[in-house]
Every structure is written in structure tokens, then in C-alpha cells.
Amino acid sequence: MKNTPFTEKHIALGAKMAEFAGYNMPIVYSSINEEHQAVRTNAGVFDVSHMGEFILKGPKALDLIQRVTSNDASKLTDGKAQYSCLPNDYGGIVDDLLVYCIEENKTYMLVVNASNIEKDWNWISKYNTDGVEMHNISDKTALLAIQGPKAVQYMQQLTDMDLVNLKYYTFAKGKFAGVDNVLVSATGYTGAGGVEIYFEDKDGNAEKIWNEIFRVGTPQGLKSIGLAARDTLRLEMGFCLYGNDIDDTTSPLEAGLGWITKFTKTFTSSSIFAKQKTEGVKRKLVGIELIDRGIPRHHHHIQDANGNDIGHVTSGTQAPSLGKAIGMAYINKEHAAEGTEMFVVIRDKAVKAKVVKMPFA
């Protein structure tokens, strides 16, 4: 099991640690509800250094990205990022990812899920037929996500980069907390605003940046946040989690990700997705809210009033911000309309639920 540059910090703070994607990660420090509300109302720090980062360089780098991703990376200019996915050859998703344009038509950074680093590297390499220079910088890159409505205000104290006016899905590079060549992006996985901070883990950078973040933030109530609250936060926003809501068997169109599936170019599975767009999909990823008491969990079956299986839950929780049980589920398209009632089978009991619009919060 691997450690991040901040593992000893988490242990010293009393975090409950567990294996996640091969890393020893903090799951919770105090309580999920407390950490969740801290991010929604103030700010919190997530160690997400387990994520993978690849650098693609050269005159054919964009061509390679265009071949293997569903979104149109040609729209990116210096300092912009986009959400995309890597489709497989048969209409599923290898992974979802972020594409950062470091230098237009020359240098890009791809940020992938921790559990898929090797898988994604091998997949992209298979299509690298033009000699694009590829570097896997995952093991030497640290990543902290400072999320919440006050996050930017606190982090602005540590840099001359204009974070306050950094637009969503853009980034800047410069000095942060006394460390050079730090990339700060206005992206995140919580829907609460904030920034993500990428930097090379060398020369004590991790220690310096961590200490400075908490020096300015602790007096204002900034807290360390574990992966459990990260999951409840993203679920309230209806953000997909790879391995739960999307995987090698799900189409981006089924998952409501048609907006990152562009047919102005040819890419893996693009013909399959074009057919789905024309003919329609047979199932859809929808939001559900429980009417009766219970909590939907991954793989729970969903039935109609006659007991027929019509889908399954992909993610679910008791939403701290909402005080109600919510989930995401793949449902047969004839039952996927907003307001449709159904039953989630929890411990052999049919619990009434309904389809609701996402995001939940």
C-alpha cells in the first residue's frame, strides 16, 4: 500500500485510515456530517495526491488526445481545462479524466483516477502511433483540493496569482506558499467552489505548502476532510464516480454525459455513441430520493410496483445537506422520467423511492 506525501499528517491528526486505490488514505477525521458541512459552509482540505497525472508533449499530442477522448480538446487554449472520458472500443468508459492545456497544440496534462493509472496509461499508449512524448508524473506529483465557499479567499493570501478571478475550469501557474511552479486550477469535485493545487513533491514542498495552508486557514475554521465526506459532497451534486456510476460497461450517453461526447471528430466508440444518440439509450442514470425510510447503496436492485427489476443503484447516501436519503441509479428509460415512483430493495424489503432531478443540492 502506497503513502501520499501527507500520510503522516493524517495519522497525526487522528484520521481513520484505510486502503483506497492502493493508497493509505484518510477516510474520516471527526465525522462525515461535520466535515461535509465544513466544506459546504466554509472550507476544507482534501489530500488527493493518489490521483494520476500524465504529461503529453509534442506536435501530435493534441491528435492523440482527440483520438482517445470523447470531448473536443481542440477547443482548449493555454490555461484552460475540460472534463472528458476515455471511451473503450465497445461503447463503455475506460475512465473519466481532466485535460489541462499547458501549451496549446504542444503540452497537455491528463488527470486520471488513482485506481486506473496503469490501465489508462496502457490504453493511451496503445493509440500513440505518432511518437507523442508521454510522461507518467503521478508518483512525484502532490495534489491538494481546497474546497468550499471560503477556500479561494484563504488561498489568495498565499500567492500573487489572481485566484479570486480564476474562472471555472481554468488554471494558473506560479508561486504558491513560497513554492515555484505550482499549478492552481478552479476545478473540484464538491460543487462548493475552491481550487486544486498541483506541485512536485520534492525539496520539502509538501510540508511547506501543507503548513502554510493551515497557518492561514486554521484560524478561520479550515479543516482536513476525508474521502467519506468527499463522496457525500460529490453525490449531492450528481457527479459520477468511476467504478460506481460509470465503468467499462456504461456509455457516457447513458450516464448523462452527452455534453462531453462530441461528434465533430472521430474517436474510440464514436460510431456506437452516434447510433445511441440517434436511436436513444435503453437505460439512463437518474437521481432518486427515498420516500420511505432507508438508504440506497451500490448494487441495490430497483423494482416497479409489480416486483419487476427495472434497474440498480450505483451510489447512495444519507445526504448531510438535505437530511434525506438520495442515490444515483441506472433505470430502464420507460421508468426514468422525473417523478416516477419505484422501489429500492434494501435487505429484502421494498422501500418506496422516486426519480428526482440532479443535482440534489
- Mean pLDDT of all residues in 147-152: 98
- Mean pLDDT of all residues in 52-71: 98
Predicted TM-score (pTM) above 0.95: yes
For residue 60, the one-letter residue type is: K
- How high is the pLDDT of residue 15? 98
Per 3-state DSSP, the chain is made up of helix, strand and coil in percentages (nearest 5) of 25, 35, 40
CB 6 within 8 A of CB 207: no
- Distance, in Å, from the CA atom of 346 to the CA atom of 330, rounded to the nearest integer, reads 16
Q: What angle do CA 137, 181, 2 make, to 5 degrees?
A: 35
What share of the chain has pLDDT > 90, as a percent?
100
Q: Which pLDDT band holds residue 233 (cuts at 50, 70, 90)?
A: very high
The dihedrals phi and psi of 26, each to the nearest 5 degrees, come to: -75, 125
- Mean model confidence pLDDT for the chain: 98
CB 238 within 8 A of CB 177: no
- Mean pLDDT of all residues in 327-346: 98
List all residues 6 or more positions away from 165 whose beta carbon is below 8 Å from its beta carbon. none
Q: What angle do CA 128, 132, 136 make, to 5 degrees?
A: 90
What cell was used for 109? 496534462
CB 199 within 8 A of CB 207: no
Per-residue pLDDT tens for 95-118?
A: 999 999 999 999 999 999 999 999
- Mean pLDDT of all residues in 91-98: 98
Task: Give the C-alpha distances (Å, rounded to integers) separating 131 from 88, 126, 144, 299.
Answer: 21, 11, 32, 42
- How high is the pLDDT of residue 95? 98
Q: Which pLDDT band holds residue 186 (cuts at 50, 70, 90)?
A: very high
Per-residue pLDDT tens for 260-270?
A: 999 999 999 99
- How high is the pLDDT of residue 146? 98
